[in-house]
Amino acid sequence: MEVAAAFRWQAEACARLGSPMYGELLHRVADAVAEGDPVVRAVLAGHEQDPGPSALALRLAGSVHRVVLRGRAPALAHHYPSTGGRWELAAAWPAWREVLRQHQAEITELLRQPPQTNEVGRAAALMGGLLHVVAATGRPVRLLEIGASAGLNLRADRFRYDHADPAGAGWGPPDSPVRLPGAWAGSPPPDVDVDVVERTGVDIAPLDPTTEEGRLTLQSYVWPDQAERLARLRGALAVARDVPAPVHRRDALSAVRALALREGTVTVLWHSVMWQYLSAEERAGVETEIAALGDRASAAAPFAHLRLEPLQRTPGEDREFLVLLRQWPEGEQRVLGRAVPHGVPVRWE
């Protein structure tokens, strides 16, 4: 797809997925590309053949957002909702273009990175599933997350989930910096106490949420007019300061292969929206290792596989963001509920 068309496609997707700001902005960038704007063309030079899935438009928008969040573009910050500004395309465009001109070298460098996000809303699905695991086993929890990004959701037990109906019900510390109003609907997960004794993540491109760089990267790829997503993320970054959860640079298969069960605890392998990035061999390898862990599990050392992934319930059906749980030593796989791409709300079945 040629560059202007790719930006228009992304603009439509952003508008549909809740960012009117990027809907307008990316159309404006597409116009600039089509008009041969020298500033825009200079920044995008060399990317004319980038494949669609590499999301050039989101990389560019995220790079400019990063400059804004770092406080290096005060005139543009005035127009970005993520820095307290008010978006209006006609007023913002000259400042946006000026940031491309002034920060061309930095933005060219940033464009090499793939967008990297960690969706805190998905904790609503994972945590609800974990409550089922704890209700069934009564054991302290060891968590391993594959494709964990910054590992924010490894602190899911420190977030607050409010049930939409009945209103007022929910789970988690009411004073948590992460509050997910209307996170759950349908049949509520069991209301049990959870003791997480180990939290470990792996990712091929991990981010460290305890560093300024890591925090900036995570925020820069959130669309600036999505106030709820940003608030959740910023809350989770605050929790991450107090609750350690290392994320190691490691691929999913080797991490699951190295996983051992421990008596007196339940070992939980969980993941969200990462399965599609694995090769067919890696997926098959992870499934084999999970089956082997299941065979080794016992009442004293149980094991659970919990996931939120876009999957089909049966072949031929549309994909849904399903919350799936399988527990060993016994237990069939169950669909616990379904969510939306960014997690909330989750409807429990």
Ligand X SMILES: C[S@@+](CC[C@H](N)C(=O)[O-])C[C@H]1O[C@@H](n2cnc3c(N)ncnc32)[C@H](O)[C@@H]1O
Residues contributing to the site for ligand X (CB under 6 A): 116-119, 122, 146-149, 202-205, 251-252, 272-274, 277-278, 282
Nearer to ligand X, 65 or 79 (CB): 65
Residue nearest ligand X (C-beta atom): 147
Sequence-ordered list of residues with C-beta below 8 angstroms from that of 86, at least 6 positions apart, any chain: 78, 79
The token pair that represents 150 in the structure block: 């910054």
Find the shortest distance in angstroms from Cβ 205 to ligand X: 4
Nearer to ligand X, 156 or 273 (CB): 273
Nearer to ligand X, 169 or 204 (CB): 204
Find the shortest distance in angstroms from Cβ 257 to ligand X: 12
Nearer to ligand X, 206 or 302 (CB): 206
Residues in the chain: 349
Nearer to ligand X, 3 or 148 (CB): 148
Find the shortest distance in angstroms from Cβ 151 to ligand X: 9
For residues 9-40, one letter each, b for 16 or more C-beta atoms within 10 angstroms of the residue's C-beta and e for the rest, the string is: ebbebbbeeebebbbbbbbbbbebbeeebebb
Find the shortest distance in angstroms from Cβ 276 to ligand X: 8
Find the shortest distance in angstroms from Cβ 18 to ligand X: 17
In Å, how far are 117, 159, 170, 177, 180 from 167, measured between CA atoms?
30, 17, 8, 20, 13
Write out the DSSP string of 165-188: SSTT-EES-TT-S-EEEEEEEESP
